[in-house]
Structure 1
Amino acid sequence: MAAVIRVTGAWVGLLMDWLDREGLEAKALRVAVERWSSEETVPVPVWRNLLDQAVELAPGHLAPELAIGRGVMPGHVGALGYLALASDTLGEAMLAYQRYENLFYGVNLAQVSVEGSEVEIRWPREGNELGQRADGVGIAALVTFMRRQLDNPPPPSSISFMEGVAPGAAMAYEQFFECPVRWHDSHVRVRFPVSYLTQPMLSRDPALRVLLDRQAQALVRALPSDSAMDRQLQQVLLRLLAEGEPTLARASAAMHMSPRTLQRRLAGHGLSWQQWLDRSREQLASQYLQDPALSLSDVALLLGFSEQSAFTRAFRRWTATSPGRFRQSVRPLRSPAR
């Protein structure tokens, strides 16, 4: 049976933030959004209905879905916000999105290809039940994220959607994206210069910086040192965890040293590689479990475990309690979603 597309509860929180920015009371919609934003998964029909209700509250806006998407923050995309931080370049972040899109939609739909001097990321019609408004929110969020990470970013080369909008809204789309927008295509497409891919991730976004600081603090507790090499090791670990392969061999290769040299470095702190890996995972897990935007399966993935059950067994070994009970016992961090 084909996988069913859905969105996350954290993503639905975009609507609450938009209502706040617009100063809209919308009591009934706020109650519904609050109810669904606490869920790990939200069916697409529910998301479309909530989005339609929001759009109806803004009759003076030609394309309010773009303003909703423009408000995206890392807390709205859950694990993908953290995975972006493990990327050195925008190209790596795009590949991380493609690899882990199923965390967000429940399926992998995105396709990335290089077309001459341009890169295209596209989503096919088959399996996409989102509709134009939801697609507009998603693409506005994607382009906003890219703009925040680049210095003086050029606009996308072109954008395509599978449905159409009224002429006034079409003009609003072109003004927002600052590029030609095509309608009634076979795919949703975003094209941009291939030079985007080598741009370093700047993390100028204050909310991204909050996540980065939390990760850094957790890793410092695992390896309390302020040397440049140890900070490099901490950043290498985040990338390896995101890739699901946190091994000594891969870490030493990424740091351009032999495994023996890295082992000696850790031995200077009284740690073996496995001890440091376990300690780092424990500290990161304690942080991630306080973020309500992350499901337990998200946390397991961020820590480099292939299955949630493996994470649960490891967490019990570290703390003598389950991840679920730990989450219930701590006060949640305010997710950087606003």
Structure 2
Amino acid sequence: MSHYLAIAAVRGIRSREPTVSAASILDLFDGLVELGVLAGPDAEVDGIRRADLENIEARFPASLVQKLWRVGEQSPYARQLGLIIGSRVNLRAMGMISNVTRFADTLGEVIVISARHAAVMSEVENIRSVAQASGVKIVYEITPPEYRLDNAIDRSMAAGVSWARHLTGRPLMPLATTFRHTVSDQAPYRAIFGDAVSFGQAEDAILVAHEDLTLPVISSNPYVKAVLASRLAEQSNGLMRRTTLEGEVRRIIGNALQDPLLSSDYVANQLNMSRQTLHRKLRKESCTYQSLLLAVRKEKAHHYLKNGVSKMDELSALLGFSEPSAFFKAFRSWYDTTPGKFEGRGS
């Protein structure tokens, strides 16, 4: 029985509750200890001590992370907690993704690996990359919404920038950084992300310049990377087997809505199966690729409107429609009203 399953059996944790890697929780735990928020490594949160987190391949329920953040939010560092912890490079708490990416060839490869295997770090966090004219936009999402905390997003994005600087040995700065939440003091954010940072935006995202993607990783080692990547793939595939196919397809669609290549073939390729096999397995779960695509678009349309995104062309692009009129028609079929009226009624 795995470490996580042993804990689940003792506590009655639902087997379908999303999980987070021990390494990710260990980094957060260490940060809280360093700040004096937790008394030391023997401090307990929900019955868990630091020693319980030292097996980096163990997994714990995502609710444990929520409890750690709530403890931290009672401290004097509450509002900047995510930035402080994310800007550290804690080599004592490296999970499989960190261990693989430290031996990658370039920063671009680091981003690809991190996005592809984000669930190994946390099943509630999605990372996707979107090609832009000036570079690549890295979008961070935490779902379901009840797991999203501003500090958690701050930590992930600050950690991404700090890890990139550590791997390349360069004082890298994003071309632009956007946050969905708003803050009263922007100075701590500008210290990490530079002056091109804005708040109250549609996405939590970092724009990386094309030239930075080709920067070499100073500790690159193809042999070690290949060995560790094999183990990372095993973990990723193991997590995938524990979820329904419908859930996996929804996740892939949600991460790739803005990709013009998104299709049932694209999804099947991501799942290492043929398109015919994908359709057959989805039918067994009483759904289709097209129904899931529409469902994800509908959910995200609701989310974006609730968070202040109201321009038709912007909504259309975010949801992967070829033109605003197609989005408008789809929206009316979902909610029997227009996006403008829907937003106005505060649904």
Taking structure 1 as the reference length, what is the TM-score of the superposition?
Answer: 0.55
> 2:263 is matched with which residue?
none
Q: Deviations over 1:191-230 (max 9, x none)?
A: 1211111101014xxxxxxxx9xxxxxxxxxxxxxxxxxx
1:73 to partner: Cα distance? 2.5
> 2:198 is matched with which residue?
182
Alignment partners' CA distance in 2, 1:126 and 1:184: 18
Residue from 11, 14, 22 that aligns with 1:9: 22
Alignment partners' CA distance in 2, 1:63 and 1:136: 8
> 2:214 is matched with which residue?
198
The range that moved more, 184-193 or 145-154, is: 145-154
- Structure 2 SS opposite 1:110: strand
Q: Which amino acid aligns with 1:93?
A: V
> 1:153 is matched with which residue?
171
Alignment partners' CA distance in 1, 2:217 and 2:125: 24
- Structure 1 SS opposite 2:216: coil
Contact 2:103-2:217 within 8 A present in 1 as well: no
> 1:238 is matched with which residue?
224
| Correspondence 1:1-338 to 2 at 5 A | 5-24=18-37, 26=39, 30-32=43-45, 34=49, 37=53, 40-59=58-77, 62-106=79-123, 109-124=126-141, 127=144, 129-165=147-183, 167-168=184-185, 170-203=186-219, 235-241=221-227, 244=230, 298=232, 300=234
* C-alpha distance 50-107 of structure 1, shift in aligned 2 (>3 A): closer
Alignment partners' CA distance in 2, 1:7 and 1:70: 20
CA RMSD across the alignment: 3.3
> 2:257 is matched with which residue?
none
- Structure 1 SS opposite 2:20: strand
Alignment partners' CA distance in 2, 1:51 and 1:141: 16
Q: Which amino acid aligns with 1:14?
A: D
1:53 to partner: Cα distance? 1.0
Q: Which amino acid aligns with 1:76?
A: A
Alignment partners' CA distance in 1, 2:139 and 2:227: 27
1:120 to partner: Cα distance? 0.7
Contact 1:12-1:37 within 8 A present in 2 as well: yes
Contact 2:135-2:208 within 8 A present in 1 as well: yes
Alignment partners' CA distance in 2, 1:171 and 1:34: 34
Matched residues, percent identical?
19
> 2:325 is matched with which residue?
none
* C-alpha distance 20-109 of structure 1, shift in aligned 2 (>3 A): closer
* C-alpha distance 126-184 of structure 1, shift in aligned 2 (>3 A): farther
Contact 1:77-1:104 within 8 A present in 2 as well: no
Higher relative contact order at CA 8 Å, sep ≥6: structure 1 or structure 2?
Answer: 1
* C-alpha distance 4-191 of structure 1, shift in aligned 2 (>3 A): farther
- Structure 2 SS opposite 1:201: coil
Contact 1:18-1:68 within 8 A present in 2 as well: yes
Alignment partners' CA distance in 1, 2:142 and 2:81: 23
Give the paired residue count: 218
- Structure 1 SS opposite 2:43: helix
Alignment partners' CA distance in 1, 2:159 and 2:54: 21
Q: Unaligned 5+ residue runs, structure 1?
A: 204-211, 213-234, 245-296, 309-338
Q: Which amino acid aligns with 1:103?
A: V
Alignment partners' CA distance in 2, 1:21 and 1:107: 26
Contact 1:75-1:81 within 8 A present in 2 as well: no
* C-alpha distance 23-240 of structure 1, shift in aligned 2 (>3 A): closer
> 2:265 is matched with which residue?
none
* C-alpha distance 182-29 of structure 1, shift in aligned 2 (>3 A): farther
* C-alpha distance 65-29 of structure 1, shift in aligned 2 (>3 A): farther
- Structure 1 SS opposite 2:31: helix
1:68 to partner: Cα distance? 1.2
> 1:292 is matched with which residue?
none
- Structure 1 SS opposite 2:44: helix
Alignment partners' CA distance in 2, 1:18 and 1:108: 20
1:76 to partner: Cα distance? 3.0
